Amino acid sequence: MQRRNFLQTLAVTAGISEPVFSKNKPTLKPPRLKAGDTVALVCPAAPAYNRQEVKIVEESMLALGFKVKYGKRMWERYGYLAGKDADRAADLNELFADPSVQGIVCVHGGWGCARLLPLLDYETIRRNPKVILGYSDVTALLLGIYSQTGLVTFHGPVGSATWNEFTVNYLRKVLMEGQAVLCENPKVIGDNLTQIADRIDSITTGTARGRLLGGNLTVLSHLLGSPYVPDWKGALFFCEDVDEAPYRMDRMITQVKLCGILEEVNGFIFGKCTECDPGNGSYGSLTLEDVWSDHVRPANKPAFAGAMIGHIKQKFTIPVGIEAEMNAETGTIRLLESAVL
């Protein structure tokens, strides 16, 4: 009760409705993005440390055919945050309410998005559905907004990502063309006898269907128990991470398992864990393969690792809340419907 009263106090102070623990809301799809639309650039977590980086983001959006608008607090800074929580939340609330803005692209992650969740105006967001895109710490916004409104959000490149052909191709297909796309790793052998990079590790073979739900494992594991996570039952759970030692990955997957999520979901998809090897001096460390064997395989659900999801240069755009089918042998994810209107 103390925790619930605390959330009520925050909600009243912010002038918004109290977040509720509930089943998933009816799916709300945003309008697709098209050339000439305006996308807003925001920093909901870490600040914009240099103007050249933001200028590159702007030029990338222009190259995609969009007009660009900056959030009002783009250049603010409060320690390791891009301004105070109320100001960063106000940026998001204002941009969702702004009819001239059709999409919101987070410049980067860092830490701080979860601090905004009690301060967002979910009713305004529900009334003004639009694309919001990002990954890493932005996971908190993607899951929080989806759980509270039913709005499909998008786990994909942040503005400061590498906008290469692979990444742009998936973004165009999902956000602009509305395709029920097949997400499939690149198959490049190069000057080798077999494929080396971007291989699929089939943990438990089989196919499964369900709503795609997930994001950065560190961020989502710290949201568990709050109102800002969805109902995982029947979902395809996807996750990724960066710079986490195997024991920390073990700890977070254990937490996910203890919450019953691995039993509730229909399938498990892991992307990349960049710089997550045991490293020098880690005698006796488990590997990620050991972690999957200990925790994921006993759930006996279709599961694979190695998808192009994560802190990597080439990445899929994955809609949070859309029905999809996974194939754990081929390592593919097929959307079963358009993610946008």
Spot the catalytic one: 60, 136, 221, 226.
Answer: 136
DSSP string, 190-222: -SSSS--SS--EEEE--EEEEEEEEEEHHHHHT
Q: In Å, how far from its chain's centre is CA 151? A: 13
Tokens 């529900």 belong to residue? 126
Which H or E run includes 47?
A: none
Burial 185-215 (b: 16+ CB within 10 A, else e): beeeeeeeeeeeebebebbbebebbbbbbbb
Phi-psi label, residue 190: left if phi above 0, alpha if psi -120 to 50, beta otherwise: left
d(CA 106, CA 335): 24
Other Cβ atoms less than 10 A from the Cβ of 262: the count is: 20
- Our answer to whether residue 17 is catalytic in this structure is no
Contacts of 326 (CB under 8 A, 6+ apart): 207, 208, 209, 236, 267, 269, 302, 304, 332, 333, 334
| Residue 295 known to be catalytic | no
3-state secondary structure of 67: strand
Residue tagged active-site, from 108, 155, 295, 311: 311
Which residue do the tokens 């908190």 mark?
140
Tell me the C-alpha distance between 310 and 296, whole Å: 19
Residue 267 · residue 297 · CB < 8 Å: no
CA–CA distance, 207 with 211 (Å, rounded to integer): 14
Report which of 57, 73, 72 is spatially closest to residue 134, judged by C-alpha positions: 57
- Where residue 114 falls (left for φ over 0; alpha for ψ -120 to 50; beta otherwise) is alpha
Rounded CA-CA distance 76/115 in Å is 16
Catalytic residue among 58, 60, 160, 240: 240
Active site residue 136: yes
Active site residues: 136, 240, 311
